[in-house]
Structure 1
Amino acid sequence: MMQRVVAVPAFMRPALTHCLAYAKRGCKTWSMSRELVNEICAAQPGAEWSDPWGGGHDCWKIGGKTFAVTGAVGTHVSVKTDSTEMAEFLIETGVAERAAYLHRSWVALPLDSAPDELAHRIRHSYRLVRGALPKKVQAALPPL
């Protein structure tokens, strides 16, 4: 199966204007929350979307490395944290769950999480992944 990669040009990266921008946790509009996650991811400089496993996954990458994944039928977005301790803290406090199939430093946030929490965790994951890229790759990316 061929992987589709789509670069998001700067002029297509809108400010966060999604209808859920002011929603509270518990919003039952799953598909709209998924749209919000995709909007937040697309707004990151140099972010690329792909569906590497087919079937409707939303996999967001920077420099070829994943920073956020939403499953085809899942109700969560998986993001990287800065440590396994932070991931455990988020899981213990009920903010997130363990991310399936990923390292212990990754967590799965419910798509109906507060929009500001989703935005914060996605941006943090993006910065962590981008910061771990080789300097040559980082230099070729759009500025933050």
Structure 2
Amino acid sequence: MLPGEALSDKTQDDRARALYGEVRCVVCQNESIADSSADIAADMRRDIRAHITEGKSDREIRDILRARYGDYVLFRPRFALSTALLWGLPLGVLIGGGAIFVLMNRRKGPEPETDALSPEEQARLDALLNRDQ
């Protein structure tokens, strides 16, 4: 954040800085707008400061940013039908993998019993094995 970006009211400035850390830079994507030097990040910081001075709540500011840039702009997106897959996928994969593991182990029954060879079969097998030598 640049020196000219600070708000004169310490409480408002602290709110702005907290929000900067929650918002993803749409250019850098893995960096918050607090850490980004991209022009769009500076614009987003300026917008947040303007909304704070207008008296908007943090929730209203997040809603404005989400409406403008999409759910991805927040590091902690809200739970909604559109993001349910994102939130539920890890749990679904874990449960599905566990179910497959249980089913694969359940299908394996005991090893089939093999009948012992009769004396005639054993003699014939021995004869066949000795013939190659």
Given the two structures, how large is their TM-score scaled by the length of structure 1?
0.26
Greater helix share, structure number: 2
> Bigger relative contact order, structure 1 or 2, given CA contacts below 8 A and separation 6+?
1
Given the two structures, how large is their TM-score scaled by the length of structure 2?
0.28
Greater strand share, structure number: 1
